[in-house]
Amino acid sequence: QKADSENLRSPICCIMGHVDAGKTKLLDCIRGTNVQENEAGGITQQIGATYFPAEILKDKTRELKPDAALKVPGLLIIDTPGHESFINLRSRGSGLCDIAILVVDIMDGLKPQTVESLKLLKMRKTPFIVALNKVDRLYGWKTCQNAPFVKAKNQQCKDVQNEFNKRLTEIIGNFKEQGWNSDLYYKIKNKDMGETISIVPTSAISGEGIPDMLLLLVKWCQKTMVDKLTYSEKLQCTVLEVKASEGDGTTIDVVLVNGVLHEGDQIVVCGMQGPIVTTIRALSTPHPMKELRVKGTYLHHKEIKAAQFIKIAAQDLKHAIAGTNIFVVGPDDDLEVIKKLTMGDKKTVMDRTDKTGKGICVQAPTLGSLEALLDFLKTPEVNIPVGGIGIGPVHKKDVMKARVMLEKKKKEYATILAFDVKVSPDAWELADKYGVRIFIADTIYSLIHQFKAYLNTHKE
Ligand code: GDP
Ligand code: MG
């Protein structure tokens, strides 16, 4: 595949950050929609994605007079409920997103979730920018609807500017503590891009800095990712979520990174019990500038080209595993070969147990989250061996697996770390009976913390 800046697909961008930082609201602001206020409790419950066509990006960034021509056909932004689902955005072991926006609330600074996001971005080698959001909350801020940031800043009185500078300096200091250099994006020299985090101040309520954020994303992608973004016919398609939906039975939400999907294509999907061979019954996407979470906004397609966020309806998808890649069976393909390929990804992750066979058991809801948990456990600071791996809820059989460690005289390893999964009542009961520990949490940080604390008391 030759790099070709005239034949680019849309970059895939993920928006992450701590709860309430304003991720959904930022997207609402660009779309001119109101998803955030219609969410239950204002909290994002499922993954959403929005496609922003190039014309919209052009329009929104006009005031900045972009010098470089827009070469990408658009921008696909994925909004997630939290970093638990970000970590599911994977593709063959690395990040699925080409670039990310890490949203930080200027009034709050860095939070534990922000720090965990930073670590994930680093592990996945995903380039990112920081949206320093809620600048309108600075006391005395004068609204400059949708203005580029520098223009808005120049219209603020001295006190507001001082307050802004003070908070910015503090947050730059926080990033430094995490091992990252950062600065306002327009102060960073070209050669330092990527080394120093670009900070874009924004308001999701009044739109200041939004033009800057969009332009920076697009420019960065066009400048540094031509290879990666050159459109390829070879299908690359990852399952994000498996959903039981009324009428259609189960559907899967996928990101099509490269290639084309058609209605009627025979596909193979990685399933809990083995490969699932099925046929695409329907392909649908949200309207551009809308998203799937808004009811009644589906567009149906006979065929669809990357990059897009798509809902696939087909039979037998119930046991599909999120975070895996799907394959299309072509006329000349050997189905058995493709089945093997499809399951390969799962096998690679499930094979990541310690060679000695000694270690704790881990359990997570998806392949992506499992992989992220394993990555964290492997880091030198943590360094906890893993003896058993599972996807989905913890059942009795998983407790039996963990119990084996008691026989291997590794009492502390007779432990299950259950990340964002349920534990069945009889699994709890059995664990109690045999002295197997089960820790549950919905952040990796908390799981590891709990287990380390347990190890420490165990040593004494
Ligand atoms: P998310 O959890 O990161 O998706 O955050 P939301 O988009 O749900 O926003 C959380 C809350 O912060 C909501 O009440 C928003 O109205 C508010 N909010 C988000 N962005 C801004 C902003 O730029 N300025 C102000 N003043 N409030 C904001
Ligand atoms: Mg949200």
Q: State the pLDDT at residue 90.
A: 65
- Å from CA of 271 to ligand 2 middle: 29
The residue-averaged pLDDT of 371-379 equals 88
Identify the top-confidence range among 20-34, 79-93, 199-213, 249-263: 199-213
Q: How far apart are CA 444 and CA 84, in angstroms?
A: 9
**How high is the mean pLDDT of the chain?**
88
For residue 66, pLDDT over 90 is answered with: no
Q: State the pLDDT at residue 280.
A: 96
pLDDT bin (cut points 50, 70, 90) of residue 241 is: confident
| 8 Å CB contact between 351 and 385 | no
Q: State the pLDDT at residue 295.
A: 59
pTM metric for this prediction = 0.84
Cβ(21) – ligand 1 distance below 6 Å: yes
Ligand whose nearest atom lies closest to the CA of 213 = 1
* DSSP codes, 156-175: S-HHHHHHHHHHHHHHHHHH
Q: How far apart are CA 165 and CA 144, in angstroms?
A: 18
CA-nearest of 423, 402, 407, 412 to 459 is 412
Atom of ligand 1 at shortest range from CA of 134: 23
Tell me if residue 101 falls in helix, strand or coil.
Answer: strand
**Which residues are CB-contacts of 142 (< 8 A; sequence separation ≥ 6)?**
155, 156, 157, 160
- Å from CA of 254 to ligand 1 middle: 27
Cα 31 → chain centroid: 20
| 8 Å CB contact between 341 and 348 | no
More confident residue, 410 or 187: 187
- Å from CA of 25 to ligand 1 middle: 5
Question: Which residue's alpha carbon is at the smallest distance from atom 9 of ligand 1?
Answer: 22
- Å from CA of 221 to ligand 1 middle: 26
Q: State the pLDDT at residue 413.
A: 93
Q: State the pLDDT at residue 3.
A: 81
CA-nearest of 256, 262, 243 to 320 is 243
CA-nearest of 194, 11, 3, 215 to 97 is 11
pLDDT bin (cut points 50, 70, 90) of residue 246 is: low
Q: State the pLDDT at residue 80.
A: 75
| 8 Å CB contact between 308 and 76 | yes
The residue-averaged pLDDT of 4-8 equals 87
pLDDT bin (cut points 50, 70, 90) of residue 99 is: very high
Atom of ligand 1 at shortest range from CA of 79: 4
More confident residue, 354 or 278: 278
For residue 254, pLDDT over 70 is answered with: yes
Q: How far apart are CA 132 and CA 114, in angstroms?
A: 12
Cβ(208) – ligand 1 distance below 6 Å: no
Cβ(137) – ligand 1 distance below 6 Å: yes
pLDDT bin (cut points 50, 70, 90) of residue 46 is: low
Task: Give me the long-range contacts of 57-64 (CB less than 8 A, separation at least 24).
Answer: 57/214, 57/215, 57/218, 60/30, 60/146, 60/210, 60/211, 60/214, 61/211, 61/214, 61/215, 61/218, 62/211, 63/147, 63/148, 63/151, 63/211, 64/148, 64/211, 64/212, 64/215
Neighbours of 273 (CB within 10 A): 6
Q: How far apart are CA 274 and CA 189, in angstroms?
A: 50
CA-nearest of 14, 293, 261 to 127 is 14
pLDDT bin (cut points 50, 70, 90) of residue 242 is: confident
- What share of the chain in percent tops pLDDT 70? 90
Backbone φ and ψ of 22, nearest 5°: 115, 25
Q: State the pLDDT at residue 69.
A: 79
- Å from CA of 36 to ligand 2 middle: 7
Atom of ligand 1 at shortest range from CA of 18: 3
pLDDT bin (cut points 50, 70, 90) of residue 399 is: very high
Cβ(114) – ligand 1 distance below 6 Å: no
The C-alpha angle 55, 58, 63, rounded to 5 degrees, equals 150
Q: What is the pLDDT of residues 424-445, one digit of tens each?
A: 999 999 999 999 999 999 888 8
The residue-averaged pLDDT of 302-328 equals 92
More confident residue, 302 or 125: 302
Atom of ligand 1 at shortest range from CA of 133: 23
Cβ(133) – ligand 1 distance below 6 Å: yes
Q: State the pLDDT at residue 4.
A: 83
The C-alpha angle 416, 417, 418, rounded to 5 degrees, equals 105
Lowest-confidence pick of 29-38, 119-128, 236-245, 384-393: 29-38
C-alpha distance across the termini of the chain, in Å: 58
For residue 299, pLDDT over 90 is answered with: no
For residue 174, pLDDT over 90 is answered with: yes
